[in-house]
């Protein structure tokens, strides 16, 4: 199993209304753990841990990049 820590931030007000963290857990075979977050009406960010098969984390990260969110991987680890 792989784990990735990343910071995800909105780039506009409309993105705050979209349940993108819910979609991550629902649409991909990964566990999403919200470690810290700050969400307001105008902007937001979340520091999350994604855990699961490396291929699924890569698919989820690729999807995040298509949403227009600012995605910044912070740390990666792979364990068996």
DSSP 3-state of 21 = helix
pLDDT means over runs of 10, the chain (80 residues): 94 89 95 95 94 95 93 72
The candidate with the shortest Cα–Cα distance to 30, out of 58, 67, 72, is 58
**CATH topology (fold) of 2-78:** Alpha-Beta Plaits (3.30.70)
Whole-number pLDDT of residue 79: 53
């Amino acid at each position: 199993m792989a784990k990735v820590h990343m910071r995800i931030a909105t780039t506009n007000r409309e993105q705050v209304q979209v349940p993108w963290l819910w979609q991550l857990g629902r649409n991909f075979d990964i566990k999403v753990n919200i470690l810290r977050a700050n969400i307001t009406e105008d902007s937001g960010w979340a520091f999350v841990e994604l855990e699961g098969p490396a291929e699924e984390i890569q698919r989820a990260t690729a999807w995040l990049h298509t949403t227009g969110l600012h995605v910044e991987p912070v740390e990666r680890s792979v364990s068996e």
